[in-house]
Structure 1
Amino acid sequence: MADKRANTKETRRKFIATTGLATTGLLAGCIGGDDDSSDGGDSSDGDDSSDGDDSSDGGDTTEDTTTKIDWVMNPAQEAIEITVQYSPLFEYIESEADVEINGIPTASYAGTAQELRRASDGDRVFADVSPGAVAQIPDQIDVTGVRVAYGAERYFSLITTTADSGVESLSDLKGKTVATASQTSVSGTMFPLLMMKKAGLDIGGAPGGKPEDFDIRASDHTTARKQMIKDDRLAAAGTGAFSTAAHVPKEQFEEMSQDFVDISVEYEGAGERDPQLDLLAVSDPIPRAPIVSNAAWEESIKDEVRNLMIEAPKEAYQHESESSLAEELGVDPSLLDKEESELSKQEKADVQLVDDHSLWFSGVKEANKEYYNPIVELGNELGLAWEEL
């Protein structure tokens, strides 16, 4: 296990930040413009009476010119501490530009979209969003770029079932309950709905309303997978491939989707996790999720940070080391060097937690709103009113 993990992480975790641990905080509050008034805003009036004797030279007064930027984030997996996951990128940006990034986690894709809807002219905001956000709130955002995962700009949605469910095809899901990600998740809900619709199932008013031929239990990608495995009342799960592909044997992908074999970064690790899941459907390739910014924000620092992300070396998207990441997560680093057979069930979960906190993308490539036209078309096929989601 140790050798396999070392191979899969060869391109990860070498960047050593010059500024130390990122200053992001788990702040779940609303976005607000930061005019730096708390960092020297009173110096212009010269009324600091305690230093009155030195007021004539003003030599000791320094103004903090650091630009404060809010970064709104939504975890794709339930157990992820996303500010920890994103810390390498934040550290890199802060080391290269005179900015301080304030991480604002949200509970869902919808929550992230709502924060962006609230952003005004004075708000300096970046966000990682679902591809659906480009269709959902096009007037509120500018696309910074598409997140690229180890060379791949596109990813996949899967519908899977447990090996003993008795479900052999999508048509068998009629009258059953399907676990999905959040309502506006492209790979965890919308593409699964489209695949079921094409298989002849009546999706009714989903995702905004109730399907006619089956029921949905919405949560997130990780929860959908775990609940399906544990609860036999759930016949299948719709998720992004990053959540379930490792449970599906490679030969099932080879039989169903050559695109997945050729494009997906998840194909290499397919079938490596227990329990085995069976593949019911694979989507067409989907444009990967973008990083976006507040469209009403117009400052040169916005373009500077955007260019930093696009031009950054791969090391900027990697933690300093797996050991330091493990320590930050409260996991014993020595577990990372053991073979899988030497680990207890809890220790395996701890090692997986460290793996899952690797930043899932290895770069940002230039993209614009037109790049996400396939998502707009997806909405049209589902009859969505994006603005109502």
Structure 2
Amino acid sequence: MAGCLSSTESGAVRFILNPAEEQTDIVQEYTPMKEYLEGETEAEIELIRADSYVDTLESLETDQGDIADTSPTAVPAGDGFADIIGMRTAYGGALYFSTITTLADSDIESLSDLEGEVMTTGARMSTSGTLAPTLMLKDAGLDTGNYPDGDAVDLELQNAPDHDRSREQLVNDDAIVAAATGAFASAPQVPQEQFDDYSEFVEHSSEYEDAGSGIDDENPELRLLAVSDPLPRAPIMARSEWDGSERDAIETALLEADETDLVPEDVDDEYELWFTGIEEAERSDYEPIDDILDELGLEFQDFGE
């Protein structure tokens, strides 16, 4: 990992950022949080974008970072050297969902119809973009082989760089008949009533209220094929051996932050942070992620770049 993360000699707290979405400027998105934390604690915060999901967690293990924005899949892998500070929430919701969608006029009616077809997923280590959808396909009776650490058998699965591009490839490439994304990327183009059969989504998803509101000439209607079980949102973690005097103050400030602290009103929509709060969480909250990895025969370290 040498060279993929910068280091600081200034005594600043090193906040490592997970490259979950390649199309976003994650440092700019996190700058309001950095400014809030510095104002609340008088600590100096350095934001450092990692190169991969695995590098984000390894920065805590190798003392190249003090605190990190990690993926849910990092929790089981970080046992013994990384502590959970809290789970990020969006508009009050601590749970989120994965979806598999097709075009409104598609002949695909169910997941079993995807046999022999081409489908896109998100980044290889994305919980909602790839791992949960792969398990959904497997549970529907399709042979997914050792995807995403190899090829599927009953259909062709292709990784897209992120959720948005998985959805866009479905719309723009006639060879692709379905797309897996987090619901935050698909729900605006899925009519709300299509989610009504999924009671947990209706109850817990922050995307339900505005489902279908983004359909227009440039963003055509999508049809829902399946919704995952609830998934715990991503955590913020700290290096277990970090004993800096500012640690308690930073952790308290994170858990007490409200939406205006994280997403100020004057922030450009393009650079808004995707979450609006952080609540306390434990490792047991991430047991669904352990189950997904076990079902797919994967370990977090399988996804090193």
| 1:113–1:387 Cα change, 3 Å | closer
Alignment correspondent of 2:208 = 267
241-250 or 163-172, larger mean C-alpha shift: 163-172
**Does residue 371 in structure 1 map to residue 298 in structure 2?**
no
Count of residues paired in the alignment: 296
Q: Please show how residues 317-328 of structure 1 align to structure 2 within 5 Å.
A: 317-321=262-266, 325-326=267-268
Larger Rg: 1
Which consecutive aligned stretches of 4+ in structure 1 deviate over 6 angstroms post-superposition? Answer: none
RMSD: 1.9
Q: 1:300 to 1:207 in 2, by over 3 A?
A: same
Q: State how far apart, in whole Å, the 2-side matches of 1:134 and 1:85 are.
A: 23
- Kindly state the Cα deviation for residue 142 of structure 1 after the two structures are TM-superposed: 1.3
TM-superposed CA distance for 1:31, in Å, is 4.3
Write the deviation string for residues 125-147 of structure 1: whole angstroms up to 9, x where unpaired. 22212111112333342111000
Partner of 1:276: 221
Distance 1:272 1:83 in 2: 29
Q: C-alpha distance in 2, partners of 1:209/1:200? A: 18
Q: Which residue of 2 aligns with 1:227?
A: 169
Fraction of identical pairs, as percent: 40
User: How does 1:1-389 map onto structure 2 within 5 Å?
Assistant: 29-32=4-7, 34-36=8-10, 67-107=11-51, 111-119=52-60, 122-218=63-159, 219-254=161-196, 256-274=197-215, 275-321=220-266, 325-326=267-268, 354=269, 356-389=270-303
Q: Does the 8 Å CA contact 1:161/1:279 hold for their aligned counterparts?
A: yes
* Alpha-carbon distance in 2 for matches of 1:120, 1:79: 27
Deviation, 1:303, is: 2.3
SS of structure 1 residue aligned to 2:84: strand
**TM-score calculated relative to the size of structure 1:** 0.72
Give, in whole Å, the separation in 2 of the partners of 1:169 and 1:378: 21
Q: Which structure is higher in helix share?
A: 1
In 1, are the aligned partners of 2:57 and 2:74 still within 8 Å (CA)? no
- Aligned to 1:300, what secondary structure does the other structure show? coil
Residue 16 (structure 1) aligns with: none
Cα 1:316/1:212, change in 2 over 3 Å: same
Are the equivalent residues in 2 in contact too, given 1:160–1:238 (CA < 8 A)? yes
C-alpha displacement of 1:175: 1.1
Instruction: Report if aligned partners of 2:60, 2:68 keep a CA contact under 8 Å in 1.
Output: no
CA distance in 2, matches of 1:197, 1:289: 24
Q: TM-score, normalised by structure 2?
A: 0.90
CA distance in 1, matches of 2:99, 2:214: 16
Question: For residues 206 and 86 of structure 1, do their structure 2 counterparts lie closer, same or farther at Cα, with a shift above 3 Å needed?
Answer: same
Q: Which runs of no fewer than 5 residues in structure 1 stay unpaired?
A: 1-27, 37-66, 327-353
Which range moves more in the overlay, 290-299 or 277-286?
290-299
Distance 1:281 1:92 in 2: 39
Would you say the 8 A contact 1:72–1:112 is kept in 2?
A: no
Q: CA deviation at 1:75?
A: 4.5
